[in-house]
Amino acid sequence: MSVLDKVQSPKDLKKLDPSELDELCSEIRELLVETVSENGGHLASNLGVVELTVALHRVFSSPFDQIVFDVGHQCYTHKLLTGRKDDFSTLRKEGGISGFTRPNESEHDIFSSGHSSVAISQAMGLAKAKKLKGEKGKVIAVVGDGALTGGLAYEALNNGGEGNDNLIIIINNNNMSISKNVGTVSKHLTTVRTSKKYFTFKSKARHFIAKIPKIGVHINRMLTAINSRIRKRVYKNATLFEDLGFRYYGPIDGHNIENLEAAFYAAKAHTHSVLIYVNTIKGRGYDPAEKNPTQFHGIGKFNVATGEPDSTSEGFSSAFGDTVCSIAEKDSRICCITAAMASGTGLDRFSELYPKRFFDVGIAEQHAVTFSSGLARNGLVPIFAVYSTFLQRSYDQLIHDVAMQNLKVIFAVDRAGLVGEDGESHQGVFDVSFFNSIPNITVFSPSCYDELSLMLGQAIYHCDGAAVIRYPRGTQKEMPEGYTYRKENYTVYGDTNSKNCIITYGREFSECYAALQSLEDTFLIKLNKIKPIDENILDLIKKAKKVFFFEESLTAGGVGEILGAMLEENAIRVKYRHIAVKNEFVKQATVQSQLKTYSLDRESIIREVSNGKKNKA
């Protein structure tokens, strides 16, 4: 029996002999690499926290002690140790376990996760609730250093040090350094301070001194002040956390279980909020991931022996990156902004060619939008490339700092629409709805690479105010033979005197056009600009008897809903069906399966138009 087979719950982990832990970690890493190579997922971050997660579950008692993972994309080992090993082969598959923490999977998952910089705030709330209710147990937030580029994390730190004696924050430095190496002395001091003998002696000594009549309390205060000064002199930059009210331990080798357990036991015994600083290596134990953690941050299927991905198709992100480089070559006003996603959004080449005009602001989408507004106000043309799911975080800035100011900021919204196996937290089905609610914004939705390039040019040079180019994840689908985009607001296919009219945009056009080939008495309107809708299409629509609007967006606030209101306002009486994503969170599955679920694939479109039955998705 393997060591991992002995662990069905965190309680079993505590029974293991320390001599078995190295083998356990090796087995976990082997399973992580094997599973992600087949299912895709986040590999480098998970390989980096194996020992950290093992130590956490050996020292603390989940779910009595609540562990919150920031982002949650590093929770695979946590899942293996909390009873989900037998289901791990279903990771990120339809009906399987999620690649993030999900409370509906296990009592050990405290929050549904997927976005960064939230765990400290969540942990503070959990800790405060425990205290108010008189409940025992610690709350532990596990936060990657990248999450500390997000403002929410600092808002929480500013509020979290004082009065949270059951709160422990673990900062996992696995990529960028918060402060420079604090040296041998600090490492030695940390080792001493986290030893059980030291902590026991310190506690007994303070208790004894406190009993000395009249002067005991004053002596303890003086010793505390001296202790604080020594720590500040040794730890230097790390005293940011001390100044915020935390007891600080670190740096600690995040791959040394003995040292980790010692630090966790010390934190567990504390009567004050604690922050532990841990160093780990992303991709630990799998050479390709260690050498290229960015590539293996989120990856599809790959060859375990070589580390090479199964598919190297370029996709919309690369097409955007190539286009923006071409435009920037001729226009020195063009700047690009990313929120820690240069590779994911196709901006690697731009960052190399135009480093002075490239700004990676970290995981700080709110700042990215407002920063872009400042660039625009002083005459530059900022292009903020961002995943749809992360742009949600800057809704207020979109309204107040861009649209209300009527500034020309271009939003390249990647991963728009259904995104597949990342599940509920990453679907790009909300952006259409919130863009529709904001004045002074023009929205384009390309169906292919050529359209993306031309629409980006339109947005920069022919739109007043802010403009959006939203495009899907992955590669373009099949387009009509000889198709050419001529910068029109919409294009029409088929006889406009037909009784059935299909309307769509973006990637969904390919599904609708394929369906059109099997439908009789039907024509198709492809929207290229989806906000504002060109009112000239109303003259085409009113000729039809039945109108079907298909879109990869939420029903509420979708383009189809806006068009439905326009039909009503203009007293156009047609049978109107709006087929879109129901107002729910989209579960993990392949994109094609998700399209089928919401009646957006070719076969479902044919069925809907042929018989007009109500969508039962």
Q: Which residues are catalytic?
A: 282, 365, 393
- Return phi, psi of residue 553, to 5°: -155, 170
How far is 149 from 117, CA to CA, in rounded Å? 8
The pair of three-digit structure tokens given for residue 317, joined into one six-digit string: 């992100």
Nearest to 287 by CA among 80, 31, 44: 44
* Residue 302 CA: distances (Å) to CA of 38, 77, 109, 348: 7, 20, 28, 22
* Residue 616 CA: distances (Å) to CA of 546, 560, 577, 579, 607: 19, 18, 13, 10, 12
The pair of three-digit structure tokens given for residue 62, joined into one six-digit string: 């989940």
Nearest to 101 by CA among 425, 428, 363, 427: 425
Q: Which residues are within 8 A (CB) of 263 and not within 5 positions of it... i.e. 6 or more apart? A: 190, 194, 249, 250, 252, 276
How far is 159 from 504, CA to CA, in rounded Å? 47
139-144 sheet: strands from edge to edge: 66-69, 139-144, 167-173, 274-279, 247-253
SS3 for 251?
strand
- End-to-end alpha carbon distance in the chain: 45
- Return phi, psi of residue 147, to 5°: -65, -20
* Residue 582 CA: distances (Å) to CA of 114, 238, 429, 549: 21, 48, 10, 14
Nearest to 125 by CA among 112, 141, 113, 109: 141
SS3 per-residue string spanning 471-540: CCCCCCCCCCCCCCCCCCCEEEECCCCCCEEEEEECCHHHHHHHHHCCCCCEEEEEECEEECCCCCHHHH
How far is 522 from 516, CA to CA, in rounded Å? 7
Strands (E) in 341-428, as ranges, are 358-360, 381-387, 410-414
* Cα angle, residue 245 at apex, residues 242 and 248 outer, rounded to 5°: 40
How far is 296 from 45, CA to CA, in rounded Å? 8
How far is 135 from 140, CA to CA, in rounded Å? 15
DSSP string computed for 563-575? HHHHHHHTT---E
How far is 105 from 205, CA to CA, in rounded Å? 46
Q: Check if the beta carbon of residue 381 is closer than 8 Å to that of residue 331.
A: yes
